[in-house]
Each structure stands twice: as C-alpha cells, then as structure tokens.
Amino acid sequence: MNDLEKTIAVIGAGVSGLSAACLLSRAGFRVRIFEKSRGVSGRAASRTREGCRYDHGANYFTVEETEVHHWIFEELSSEGLVEIDGAILPFDSSGTVGVPDETRDGRAKYSYRDGISTLGKKMRERFDLDIVHGERITGLGKRPGHAGWILMGEKGRRYGEYGAVLVSTPLAQAIPMLEASDFDEKLQTDLRDSFDGVRYYSQYSVVLNFSEQQHLPKNAYALINEDRAHAVAWISNEGFKTGHVPAGESLYVVQMSPHWSSEREGWERTEIAEQVLRQVSVLFDNDLPRPGWSDVQWWKFAHPQPGGKIYPPETATGSGLYFAGDAFVGKGRVAGALKSGFEVAREIISRSGP
C-alpha cells in the first residue's frame, strides 16, 4: 500500500464518521476529519445551560449489539456513563398512555453524566483524532493525472490529496456537495441513481426547564407517540440521568412530530416554545407552570424517512469514495451509526490490501 492509499479524509464528525476514523487510525491510516461545527457527535448532541446538561438530539443509546457493547465498555472509558432507569411508555393520538413495550423498554438505556455528546469526545481523545473544525466541505474533485481526491472548502481553501474520502454527513446534506463536485461523469450518474429519493424528516426539539419537580404520567422516563398522530412525538424527563438536572428542578426534552415541525419551519423560537408548552399541557391534561427557561433546536435532517436500504454504487467504492451514516442503516440510532462506521472502515481496510 502506497502513501496516498494510507490517507483518508472523513467529512463529518458525527458518530459514524468518528467510529470509522477510530478503526482506520488503529489500522495505520492517516485520517483527517472535516467538521463544519465546533463540536463532535452530530445529532448525539448535548448542551449546558443554567446548571443543566441535556441531550436534545438522540436522547439515549443502547448496547445490546456485542460490538457496540465492547466499544462502549472496553474500547472507551466507561467513566461518566450513566444508565437511565424508568420506563418508556407509549401514548396515542388522544393522549392515552399505555403499558411498556418489552422489546423496547427491556433494553438498558445509557447516556453520560456530561451528556450524550461525550461519546464522540471519548473517541476523539482515545484515538487522538485530527479534526478540522469550522470548515464545511462544498465539493470533491480529482486533478488531471492525479489519483488522489481534493476537497474544496467553503472559503475557497483546498485540501488533499487523499487516497479515499468517507462522507458521513446526513445523505440529504451530502447530495448537494456531490452535485457540485468535479469527478467522473459515470460516477456522478451512478450516485444520483443510487441516492435518488432519499428524504429526511425535519424536527423541532424543545427543552422546557421548571424550577420545581414535575413528573411524566406514571412517573415514566419518557413517553413516545406510537400511532404517529399526535403533535408531540417524544417527551422525556432529563432528571432520570444522573448529574443532568439540579435537585428540585425538572427539565423536559420534547421532540415534535415531523408534520407539526415542518409546518412551522422558520418560526420564532419563542413562539415554538409557547406552542410546545400548550401541546404538552394538553397531553398531560394539566396546566403546566411557566418554564423558567426554554431552548429550541431545529433539526433539518433529524432522521431518514423509512424506505429500502441504501447502497452506494460499486463505482464509488472502486474510486475510493465511501459513505456511512443513518441513511445506510435505515434508522436514526446511535448504535446503528457506530456500526455503520465500523463496517465502512473495515471495507476501506480490506480494499487497501497489505
């Protein structure tokens, strides 16, 4: 394997990109990650405000998969890992709360004392990953007569050459970048054909903090709308996570339905928070007090819409262009994103030869 083949660019520092970068670094590749934001872990996101730490994207992860369990408990330090007690209960369009579903609620649920984004930070630190923050990659290309990939940054800067590129951003976000790229026309056509029809749900995630104790019905950790006919898709009590909420306070993370959210895209955050408070009060059949504060996050690409599994074309992998992320798993799950990264890293390693 020559020096160029040992260089890998990863676009996106979400969970799948980071897990792939970890395995590639361990295998001796020189990996550089490009991330448009200042943080890591993508939609496994956490924030801190007024003494509270909360997970406002993915709310927890599971470890029933053997490889994921090994990664969380053995490859990475389990320091700060917290198991979430409490049930996840279904509710329907009328707000009627049901009983736990053992196939979902019987699995152990985890986050970290410092938030779920700690997962990405642990991977970065464990493998000393090289991450360029604040750089959005707008296109890819190859110079005439050169085998390596060049990355074009938003500010006109170019990076490269790289033997392979792994795109781990949400696929709906990656497609415009690929369309603006300069490489083989056959590969462009194959990518369009393979990724045609990929769609993502958008979603508002709203945080409500209360200065006194509040409880979900039946003192559940979370409620989930199973018939997908309610404005509220998910609500959880962040106080079930050790170290997240000060004593005497309560904090709810409310994720609204894609339909409700898309109808209100671009609205003022204060109005979104007001409407969400009203929806939650109706759901509980109880007038909640005014929150001490609220936070609103708009997820443009919250998770892929259900559909058949997506496969990159062979012409892409044969050219050193790879993909990972939830679109290739079919669901927006942290454990699935980890596995997606592992799988593509092994493919890159196997294709590189001895």
Instruction: Give the span between the Cα atoms of 156 and 160, in whole angstroms.
Output: 13
Q: Determine whether domain 82-109+200-304 maps to CATH 3.90.660.10.
A: yes
Q: For residue 110, what are the β-bridge partners?
A: 61, 83
Which class for 200: exposed (0-12), middle (13-18), buried (19 or more C-beta within 10 A)? buried
Residue 40 confidence class, pLDDT cut points 50, 70, 90 = very high
Domain ranges, ordered by start, for the chain: 4-36+134-196+306-352, 82-109+200-304
Per-residue pLDDT at 225 exceeds 90: yes
Percent of the chain topping pLDDT 90: 82
pLDDT at position 354 is 61
Q: Which CATH class is domain 4-36+134-196+306-352?
A: alpha beta
pTM higher than the cut 0.85: yes
Residue 67 confidence class, pLDDT cut points 50, 70, 90 = very high
* 316 membership: H or E segment, kind and range: helix 314-318
Which class for 246: exposed (0-12), middle (13-18), buried (19 or more C-beta within 10 A)? middle
Per-residue pLDDT at 308 exceeds 70: no
Average per-residue pLDDT in the chain?
93
